[in-house]
Amino acid sequence: MSATETQTTPNVGRTRLRKEDARLVTGRTNWTDDIRMVGTLHMHVVRSPMAHARITSIDTSHAEQMPGVTGVYTGRDLEAEYGPLPCAWPVTEDMVNPAHLALATEEVAYVGDGVAVVLARSKAEAVDAAEQVLVEYEPLTPVVDMRTALDDGAATVHSDLDSNRSYTWPLQSPSPEACDEAFSGAAHVVTREFINQRLIPLAMEPRAVVVAPMGHTGEYTVWSATQVPHILRLMLALTCSVPEQQLRVVAPDVGGGFGSKLNVYAEEVLALVLARKLGRPIKWTETRSEGFQSTIHGRDQIQRISLAMDEDGRFRGLKVELLADMGAYLQLVTPGVPILGAFMYPAIYKMDAYDFSCTGVFTNKTPTDAYRGAGRPEATYAIERIVDEAAHELGVDPMELREQNWIKHEEFPYDMIAGLTYDSGNYEAATAKAVEMFDYEGKRGEQQSRRSSGDTKMLGIGISTFTEMCGLAPSRVLGSLSYGAGGWEHASVRMLPSGKAEVITGTSPHGQGHLTAWSQIASDALGIPFEDIEVRFNDTSIAHKGLDTYGSRSLVVGGYAVVRACEKVIDKARQLAAHMLEASEDDLEFADGTFSVKGSPDATTTIQDVALATFAGHDYPEGMELGLDSDATVDPENFSYPHGTHLAFVEVDTETGAVELLDYVAVDDVGKVVNPQIVEGQVHGGLAQGIAQALYEEVVYDDQGNLTTGTMVDYYAPSAADLPAFRTDRTETPATTNPLGVKGVGEAGAIASTPAIMNAVIDALRPLGVNEVLMPASPKNVWNALQAAQSTDGGAA
């Protein structure tokens, strides 16, 4: 039989049901809050109810007398135990980064800032005692509005700051002169200001941490609901002066993250130093309302954007000025989030010049940081909205204007004005498929008839032809952007004596399905059954190297590492197989898990046999090292650039302001696909979050800095009843920069959908003079936009 006849069906490219599910659907899970250890002390954090105040006194004496309480600690009591919480991305040399201690000592800077912790035998006892910690505050002026925060003489977020500006980061390409020229000679310049509102990531599993001293070794094990066990290990070691080799971080089952668990949090530091101090396990789990204050928020930018065009609509230049709300402190990558966006404003469009600047602003609010897409959804929103505005002003169809300006398929690879090189893409193909699925022309006709009928419920069509940068990231590029780490990834393959395999990955899943997808990749590469592969991760003692999961990087970089690790194992196995078959390595073919000698079809051995032989060690070539394991570290040469065309169809009731999403079509090009079902699921979930930004969600603070959307009752995360069934499909333009041809899919839906929905809402209301609706497009915001348009007599241009 020839190799092709024996080949089993490849696993990559087809749906395999997830290996993860058996435990999850039966409730046999192990979330951090499920961990129980004898002698555990439960930690409760006493938090500031004020946005900005000086702590004048803390009286812990009553709390200390409460039943079950073993200790109450203020910021002063613990300040010698740790340094400030880390920010790993100093985006400019002069960036202002206020010292961020796990517990405030002098001033509190946002509602939720920790001031003391109570330790007690039970969680209930800790909460009871915390109510008896008496903190006196002297109120200071809160800074709530990031615009006025930059005024001369404005109050500052921390008393020792000179201003509320953290940094200003500019990018002008190809030159300042070219940027001026693009605008000065333009026939049309369209300028808008968009508000990208603050959001709460809202992973369903609240954050939690358990830290325990482990026996005589001086080691601490940290179990945390984190996306980044490896980053957390290093950062906790540095922050708390615990030798890194004595820290083991485990992320057990983690219930979603969306960026909110891509951080190093005060409670992780506190639990570690208290476990060290007391020699007992310390446990903390946030309540949801507490998490709304103490877990990072996302987005929150004011975006001023101008698009310069020639007479015929060709894009000449783009100018973007951002104010980005940092909140009260810089968390792990807070300042870098809008900088990730900086590269995406030009999106899929060709232009002569690009002028970007971002100013990071402090306010007395919860810190912001990466939330699904991290800077790229904000960028995509602004560019896709202004292209619609430009089309409206030019009087052309918004799809035509996009088509006129996007990079043509035959022009790839393409050097973008923002400095990136897009390796591949096919915007024509994705758009053609989306337009057909959606019946774009038919729906335009329907919209027109509805308008002619004078119905008060109007129809709108929204377009988003997005791209993004994924696969974070080439380490050298991150270095050039002053990021504190690289973007490589690591994998190992261990062939076991029984012929099974363990794949170890430095990526850190929390719902994505790596166990299944990595098994598919390794199964095909090694030629051993999908079922015979176990994938190990989320524990720094098992996966000793890695940079974890965020930024749609796991498959693009981590999957690439798995491929390389498999290749190395096969190369090693080939040496022993040649010895076993008494043939030269060059004469061996490897397919489907079997080594065979060219021209001698009966002379074969399997990779499983080789694994057993290398375990036994009874007979192997002189000089060969035993063992059939490998390690591979890969550093991507470029980002990957998924793209797609999303189309939304909405009905807006002009009498109530209510928006109904009638249909949503998403055609994504994420390159080659390992598991179509998982890919579709990622797109669905992203869509729900992006649509939620457009229609439902918004963090609101009052003018004193109180979080008025402080519970799930007030912060409206959509349920199934709020969303339609999504219609999705794909085109497949492989990435050229990794062997799998994959591009990443984690953020696509969340990036593309927000502008698609908002363009649809505004498209519906254009005849009434509406050119802008604030997000979320709630009945109130739609109603206000309608009223504003009417009061200006049909609206502005």
Partner 1 sequence: MKISLNVDGTRYEDDVEPRTLLVTHLREQLGMTGINIGCDTSNCGACTLHLDGDSVKSCTVLAVQADGSDVTTIHGMSEDENDMARWHPLQQAFHAEHGLQCGYCTPGMIMAAADLLKHNPDPTDVEVREGIEGNLCRCTGYTNIVRAVQRAAKAMRDGTPVFADENAEVPA
Residues near partner 1, by CB under 8 A:
14-18, 20-31, 33-34, 36, 124, 202-206, 253-256, 258, 287-289, 510-513, 676-682, 684-689, 711-713, 717, 719-721, 723, 725-726, 749
Nearer Cβ to partner 1 (257/487):
257
Nearer Cβ to partner 1 (220/726):
726
Instruction: Tell me the C-alpha distance between 217 and 69, whole Å.
Output: 28
Task: Name the minimum Å distance from CB 688 to partner 1.
Answer: 4
DSSP for 221-278, please give it. EEEE--S-HHHHHHHHHHHHT--GGGEEEE--B----TTTTSS--HHHHHHHHHHHHH
Residues 39/281, Cβ–Cβ less than 8 Å: yes
CB atoms within 10 A of CB 622: 5
Task: Name the minimum Å distance from CB 723 to partner 1.
Answer: 6
The first and second tokens of residue 707, run together, are 């979080």
Q: Give the Cα-Cα-Cα angle 419, 308, 150 (nearest 5 degrees).
A: 75
For the chain, how big is the Rg over CA atoms in Å?
A: 28
Half-sphere exposure of 15 (CA within 13 A, CB side): 7
Half-sphere exposure of 774 (CA within 13 A, CB side): 15
Residues 45/707, Cβ–Cβ less than 8 Å: no
Nearer Cβ to partner 1 (23/76):
23
Task: Name the minimum Å distance from CB 68 to partner 1.
Answer: 12
Half-sphere exposure of 98 (CA within 13 A, CB side): 29
Task: Name the minimum Å distance from CB 73 to partner 1.
Answer: 24
Contacts of 17 (CB under 8 A, 6+ apart): 516, 677
Nearer Cβ to partner 1 (355/680):
680
The first and second tokens of residue 636, run together, are 């991507």
Contacts of 572 (CB under 8 A, 6+ apart): 627, 628, 630
Task: Name the minimum Å distance from CB 37 to partner 1.
Answer: 13
Task: Name the minimum Å distance from CB 104 to partner 1.
Answer: 24
Task: Name the minimum Å distance from CB 290 to partner 1.
Answer: 8
The first and second tokens of residue 230, run together, are 């490896």
Task: Name the minimum Å distance from CB 516 to partner 1.
Answer: 10
Instruction: Tell me the C-alpha distance between 459 and 55, whole Å.
Output: 54
Task: Name the minimum Å distance from CB 483 to partner 1.
Answer: 27
Nearer Cβ to partner 1 (202/305):
202
DSSP for 565-609, please give it. HHHHHHHHHHHHHHHHHTS-GGGEEEETTEEEETTEEEEEEEHHH
Instruction: Tell me the C-alpha distance between 332 and 254, whole Å.
Output: 19
Nearer Cβ to partner 1 (574/646):
646
Instruction: Tell me the C-alpha distance between 217 and 280, whole Å.
Output: 15
Instruction: Tell me the C-alpha distance between 344 and 377, whole Å.
Output: 9
Nearer Cβ to partner 1 (172/677):
677
Residues 648/753, Cβ–Cβ less than 8 Å: yes
Nearer Cβ to partner 1 (1/721):
721
CA distances 578 to 278, 565, 590, 765, Å, are 58, 20, 11, 72
